Chains A and B, each alone.
Chain A
Amino acid sequence: MGLLVDTAFLDAASTAPALQDMLRPALVEALFTRNDRALPPELVAVLGRQPSVTVKAKSDVDVAKLVQVANGQESTVSLGLSAEDFHYVRRQLEVGKDRDIGIYLRPFALTTHPWIVPPQGGIEIDVRDLSEIEIDEKGHRAVVGIGCRWKALYDAAVQAGHIVPFFPVVPLDYGIVDAFAGDALFESYRAPFRRYLLGVRSFTSHGRKARLGFEEVPNHGTGYDLLNLLQNSLTEFVVPVAASFLLAPRPRVMKNIAFHYPDPAKLAEALAKLTASGRSPLYANVYDASAWQLLRPGATGGPFTLELGLAGAPTVVAVREKGVEALLAGFTAKEEIASPYDVEARSYTKNAEKIGRLLFPGYVLGPAKSFADLVAKLKSVSQAERAKMSLFGSVRAQGSFVLAPGFDTPKERPKIYSVSHRVWDLVNATPGSVYLSRLAHLWSEDRMYRERLAWMQKLKSEIDSAKVVEPRVVPR
């Protein structure tokens, strides 16, 4: 489910007589790790629930019908089910009982871990078939079903003479849905994901079609930027079915160049110089040796690698390459290799599966100059947890980086919790850096953040007044 559901549940749980004296972090831990001995049975019951039915939506129409079934506008007959299936669905959904029937979208690939509160019965929509890609022949944009894989969009765009200008920080096989219902982070060197997101086709909890943003141009100057306001929690407000993205024309020259560094301090120096130079690659990824090996099995590299995608007109790229090479002094080797995104879909998926087995506790953000310090601290987490760490990351033009450390350890809830807590502690001790994770969002006691969260909760109550889109859960 989502942050708003989790925080509302936490607030409600903390008022339960048995839990009144429990401190919030301890409550988060008990709920996250499913410590049944510390929790009252009604809370345990909530945490153990599953969606009542999973429906594979074939089109927008199916999604609209499901929303209308959930909000009581339509009977399940309209799903076109046989009498037998109809009774099954009604029974499963507990239609007629005094409980909100929620709609939940199933993410494809979670980088980190699910939220605390699972879907409470209701309808889970499998969006894999909503995967149509329409690329505009006259412009640089694509309308994509949210069940489409990012890699499929990337390949289709390349074939049509474009490129997708945003890339996953962790190269997992994400679907577009993961940007809205999951925790996929897409970036480019120059801009965050939101710059490329033009609009989202969705259904409101009242079953009405609602397009957030526009499909051909950005939404600037058209009222509140709802698209970006809701983006991270979109599936807690509306049910998205497709998104429109800005593409870029395929440049005449595209080069993928790797610079290998002997230690993080030298790489940090290079990052600071790169981001101060005004030289602008398409993407700038960083890896440690282990991550590099996972991404390119058998390849040799240094302990740390900076991978730049240079793209543009031939003469400009030539000059840029020369300039970048002069800037990034301190590297031990440089090589031009194939882009990690241009590999065949099958091998991309295979690699993604391997990488996906790691335990990612979240993303760490910081200014370029603190790169070496943070890497050293993350290594200490790896040692304390006795789990090998693979470090994926990307760099941004404004002089910051985002790192996703992946630990080679079983993805068990207590382990996820302890690794996350260690990262949280070390980031808190590093001024200027931030830890973005689902648990960190629940831990944060920052007054302003809690106030903003309260406004988002009010907005959810107003927008999802039919209590259909991932409805909040109150333990009874």
Chain B
Amino acid sequence: MASLDYSHRRLVNIFGPERVSRHPAERLMHSRDFAFLPKAANLQWKLIPDFVVLPKRVEEVSALVNLAYEAGLLLVPHGGGSGLAGGAVPNRGGVLVDMRQMNRVVKVDADRRRITVQAGMTWKEAADFAAHKGLFLPVVPQGAPASTIGGWYSSGGVGIGSMKYGSARDVVVDAEAVLPNGDAIHTADPTADGDLAFANLNPAFFGGEGTIGILTEVTLQTFPKPEEIRPLSYSTKDLWSVRDIVPAIADSDLEPYHVSIIDPMHLAFVKATRHEGLDPQGLLNVVFDGPKDEVNASEKELDRFMEEHGAKKLPETDARAQWDGRFDLYPARRLSGGLVVAESLVPTGRFPDVLRSVGNLIKRLKMQVAVNSFLVDRNTVAVNPYLLMDEQHPLGPTSLSFVKKFDDAVLRVGGHPQGLGLFHAFNFDRMHKGAQGLYTSVKAVFDPHYKVNPGKMVEVWTRYALPLIDTIPPEIMRFGLDLAAVVRSLKPTRDRYVTLGGAR
């Protein structure tokens, strides 16, 4: 490996001095994503990058990849930092490639309703741009204001609108990526959007967490702007009362654009943070899109349906406020130093079982947890519980054990956790029993020298490139988290950040 000073000079040659940083504050800022990590994590991973670079053009990314190979540097692509699995943070230092300055619109194809944007643009910016052109980007992440196009696509995202329009995979037609060999390629034929087009590499990058290349440009399929987008909200006594309504919506012939399920605890957190908003209650937010007459008819059908299931319709202003605040999911972070989020997909029919498991975990691990969920398709619910923790308390980090225990429960019912990255890679072997070799083949083929975001997803590298201690076996990670759960359950008092009228 070349010296850091030499590497710095070479990086400056590519990006100029203003877009290369070795400043400690800059590097520290880029050493984490949205996931909480205890300080002790620095013992096993070198989370702080050696350099932060800000590319603007694909040629710069290509030059960077070539330099990485030459100088023995590891590259870590980084989007908006809204990930939860440590997919975009370094594990052995290296160069952190902050893509956020690649945020231009490249092309608009009005005939095919497609827009091509650079991968560092956020989903919110892309959706706003599409709207400005009279188009509709129907699928966006819940963290759309921060989440970049390349970042969310790389994490295999599902989000708002997935119920009707699918995942990020279904709106990405083509991408430009710089591969670990330095070549920039188009991952698909942008005109051939059929399933019969062979050699379409889009899926390799969907969920690939930036481990086989760096996305620089993405072509998105948009749709005509709907005449109406109508949010509706229905209230139930508590989250448990929603358990049967969600599978019933999935079983019905209603065609909502988005269905989200809000936990009373979440509303309590929001109220404690902002001193406004709805009182704690179980909440179902349903959104319809389309021509006005169809939306009107759908609303009437839904009103009847909800009445039959004992849910009460909330005023339009409340529903609108919920919809307007759809991207602001975690204001509760202000209540404590740490926030831990788990993401998963579970079969709709097993949603009540998962809620029950979470309830048991809350009791056992003595935590305050809010469970927000949304329908991904008729068979799938995304269940995303989050909890607050006191990071200053010595036992604070034991809260991370919740994620492991929750993942266990999800896998038991035929679902799976979402995101592998660095912190959740211990689930990889449990998810892909028997097929692990096929996944590792992809990394081995595209990045044989392990230069781009290595040591994640399919394996976990430590900061030490020494035999025996260079990787952490998944069993050890799982054991550590199980042990943390035992310690946590011995804790004498329960964490309490807000009070919730005895609901839990």
Contact = CB atoms under 8 A, between A and B. Distances in A.
A69 interface: no
B112 interface: yes
B349 A136 contact: yes
Interface string A192-212: 111100100000101011111
B206 A452 contact: no
Contacts of B438: 204, 210, 212, 226, 237-238, 463
Interface in B425-472: 428, 431-435, 437-439, 441-442, 444-446, 457-458
B184 to A, nearest CB: 10
A138 B200 CA distance: 34
A316 interface: yes
B189 A249 contact: no
Interface in A144-182: none
Given A210-B434, A448-B185, A398 B111 contact: no
B166 interface: yes
Contacts of A51: none
Interface stretch (B14-22, B360-368, B374-382): B374-382
Contacts of A222: 156, 207, 416, 418, 420, 431-432
Contacts of B432: 211, 222-223
A453 B199 contact: yes
Contacts of A198: 379
B195 A249 contact: no
A278 B203 contact: no
A139 B301 contact: no
Interface in B321-369: 343, 345-350
Given A320-B294, A436-B197, A399 B226 contact: no
A218 B435 contact: no
A452 B179 CA distance: 11
A217 B414 contact: yes
A384 to B, nearest CB: 25
A219 B207 contact: yes
Given A229-B201, A436-B197, A452-B199, A224 B442 contact: yes
Interface string A390-405: 0000000111101000
B253 A193 contact: no
A313 B298 contact: yes
A312 B432 CA distance: 36
Given A185-B196, A278-B223, A398-B221, A221 B191 contact: no
Interface residues of A, number: 95
A195 B439 contact: no
A246 interface: yes
Interface string B289-314: 11101101110110000000000000
A433 B191 contact: yes
A225 interface: yes
A221 B223 contact: no
A189 interface: no
A218 B157 CA distance: 11
A136 B247 CA distance: 14
Interface string A118-144: 000000000000000000101111000
Contacts of B194: 185, 192, 363, 365, 402, 434, 436
Interface residues on B, range: 35 or more
A369 interface: yes
Given A214-B414, A233-B198, A452 B185 contact: yes
B80 interface: no
B155 interface: yes
Contacts of A252: 253
B439 A316 contact: no
Nearest to A453: B199
Interface of A: 3, 136, 138-141, 183, 185-187, 190-195, 198, 204, 206, 208-212, 214-229, 231-233, 237-238, 246-253, 275-280, 311-313, 315-316, 318-320, 322-323, 363, 365, 367, 369, 397-400, 402, 432-434, 436, 441, 446, 448-449, 451-453, 455-456, 458-459, 462-463
Closest A-B pairs by Cβ, 5 of them:
A221-B418, A138-B349, A225-B203, A251-B253, A210-B435
21 contacts: A139-B347, A139-B349, A139-B378, A140-B378, A194-B169, A206-B437, A215-B414, A221-B155, A228-B206, A278-B223, A279-B294, A312-B255, A319-B297, A398-B223, A432-B191, A434-B192, A434-B197, A441-B198, A449-B199, A462-B441, A463-B441
Given A312-B253, A316-B297, A367-B111, 15 more contacts: A140-B348, A211-B435, A214-B416, A217-B346, A220-B158, A221-B155, A221-B158, A222-B431, A223-B208, A228-B169, A278-B226, A319-B296, A323-B291, A363-B194, A452-B200
